[in-house]
Chain A
Amino acid sequence: QSVLTQPPSASGTPGQRVTISCSGSTSNIGSNVVNWYQQLPGTAPKLLIYSNNQRPSGVPDRFSGSKSGTSASLAISGLQSEDEADYYCAAWDDILNGPVFGGGTKLTVL
């Protein structure tokens, strides 16, 4: 059971906008920034969004993040087939004294 809660799956058609939610508690999302990771099939995770809503260099602006209270969300607009991947939210946890992850959301592009 993961500390952060994400839906196990999400889907959309090319060009659509999809959102993935992430729910936590006061010791993690409520107190710290949220990061999102993208894991393409058979590859290592990659930092997609950091500090709630910042994109590393090279990440398209189709990807955006937001946070409110103890929840966060990742939005992907103009969905493309290459966006098909697993997405993980994460945040530092002040009780565990380490980063905690969501269980991951498998995004399917129909």
Chain B
Amino acid sequence: QVQLVESGGGVVQPGRSLRLSCAASGFSFRIYAMHWVRQAPGKGLEWVAVTSYDGSNKNYADFVKGRFTISRDNSKNTLLLQMNSLRVEDTAVYYCARDSTSLIVVGELDYWGQGTLVTVSS
């Protein structure tokens, strides 16, 4: 069955960096676009970034552009999110999610991981 398992969250000071990972299994990872979505404590869902199935196309929400980088290693079935210059307002649970249709991006997220908590605090 499809499984997405995030890791790498933790407590970090403002201005520092953190790298999140999402290990995928149970499907052909290399043919699906993947997303990161976050949820601040007690708040709603907020899309962060997307990468195409082969990593050739990426897009970001305005509030992370220039600070976060999404990437993937299809040989290791792993999605990554490099987060630099972290701010207090980046505190959230970060979910990785699969785009439902192979080879294209449609923005329909059919499988989600359990999330990893990132806390930015001094």
Binding site for B on A (CB under 8 A): 2, 32-33, 35, 37, 39, 43-47, 50-51, 56, 86, 88, 90-92, 96-104
Contacts and interface: CB of A to CB of B under 8 A. Distances in A.
Nearest to A35: B108
Contacts of B113: 44
Interface of B: 35, 37, 44-47, 49-50, 59-62, 95, 100, 106-115
Contact of B44 (A56, A92, A104): A104
A32 B108 CA distance: 11
Nearest to B109: A47
Contacts of A43: 114
Given A98-B50, A101-B46, A46 B108 contact: no
Contacts of A47: 100, 108-111
B47 A99 contact: yes
A21 B107 CA distance: 20
For the complex of A and B, 10 pairs with smallest distance between CB atoms: A99-B107, A92-B107, A104-B44, A44-B112, A101-B45, A103-B44, A47-B110, A99-B47, A97-B59, A50-B108
Given A37-B45, A98-B59, A103-B44, 11 more contacts: A2-B44, A33-B108, A44-B115, A47-B108, A47-B109, A56-B110, A90-B107, A96-B61, A98-B49, A98-B107, A101-B44
Nearest to A102: B44
Given A96-B61, A97-B59, A98-B61, A46 B47 contact: no
Majority SS of interface residues in chain A? strand
Nearest to A6: B44
A33 B106 CA distance: 9
Contacts of A104: 44-45
Contacts of B110: 47, 50, 56
Given A88-B44, A101-B45, A101-B47, A44 B95 contact: yes
